[in-house]
Amino acid sequence: MIKNLIFSIFFFIGIIIISLIFIPAFLLPKGVVLFGGKLMGYWTVFCLKFFLSTKIIVKGKENILNKQKFFIAASHQSMFETFFMQTIFNSPLFILKKELLFIPIFGWYLKKIGSISIQRSKTTKNNLGFFEEISYVINKSNRPLIIFPQGTRVLPNERPPFKKGVARIYEELKIACQPVAINSGYVWPKKGNKTSHKTITISILKPIPIGLSKDEFLKILENNLYSDLNLLN
């Protein structure tokens, strides 16, 4: 309990300090602000290792796609991957709930780095152009898009079917998919206390090439990610 409290205090104070330091950077080029995101990722790692004695292992770096456009489909069990993925990949673009853009400082940061927002609770005129916006952003950027196909954070042993939107993105963008399995929920669950002296493994799987049907792609992605998570668990 005490370790959880100390971790939370130092982690969130650090995130706030980094955000405050980079407020002036909001007026500077996007690249400067993106560096602040990487710092948040490294701070997350430091806090986990120092306060909770967490071991962090990254597997499959040789599978990371280079010199071509791709999008990342990652399992989602905690806040960890939101921060840490910025340290592995080239400042990925996030798809997020529109409400997050209205959070002071943090929301400004999300907007500045080019995050793509959507109102998940209803169909709106803006949402109808959602995939066109993604295509436009990806075509003019060298940063990969990251999506969490489970739709929200889940418990480590939960295996919900993937949202069909990830297959639509695969079809629309016509670029390869980089699956990433992360078992962070055993250390930093969406509910309850964090656990010390555990290992978080980030497993970067072999990419799924273009050219598959939506159904084929979704089946392969879900099978590959869940099969790997079962091994990590």
Domain ranges in the chain are 53-232
Cα torsion through 190, 49, 179, 36, rounded to 10? 90
- Write the Ramachandran bin of 229: left for phi over 0, alpha for psi from -120 to 50, otherwise beta: alpha
- Tell me, what's the pLDDT at 25? 63
- Tell me, what's the pLDDT at 217? 96
The separation between CA 227 and the C-alpha centre of its own chain, rounded to angstroms, equals 19
Task: Identify the band that residue 94 occupies on the pLDDT scale cut at 50, 70 and 90.
Answer: confident
Task: Identify the band that residue 116 occupies on the pLDDT scale cut at 50, 70 and 90.
Answer: confident
DSSP-derived pairing of the beta strands 176-182 and 199-204 = antiparallel
Contacts of 224 (CB under 8 A, 6+ apart): 179, 205, 208
- 126, pLDDT greater than 70: no
- Tell me, what's the pLDDT at 152? 86
Question: Mean pLDDT across the stretch 74-87?
Answer: 92
- Write the Ramachandran bin of 211: left for phi over 0, alpha for psi from -120 to 50, otherwise beta: left
Give CA separation, 227 vs 62, 165, 218, 230, in Å. 19, 21, 14, 5
- 24, pLDDT greater than 90: no
- Which CATH architecture is the domain 53-232 placed in? 3-Layer(aba) Sandwich (3.40)
Question: Mean pLDDT across the stretch 76-93?
Answer: 90
Give CA separation, 130 vs 49, 74, 165, in Å. 38, 20, 11
- 199, pLDDT greater than 70: yes
Mapping DSSP to helix (H, G, I), strand (E, B) and coil, where does residue 201 land? strand
- Tell me, what's the pLDDT at 124? 44
Answer yes or no: pTM beyond 0.85: yes
- Tell me, what's the pLDDT at 30? 67
What is the residue-averaged pLDDT of the chain? 86
Contact 105, 19 (CB under 8 A): yes
The candidate with the shortest Cα–Cα distance to 203, out of 64, 41, 80, is 64
- 191, pLDDT greater than 90: no
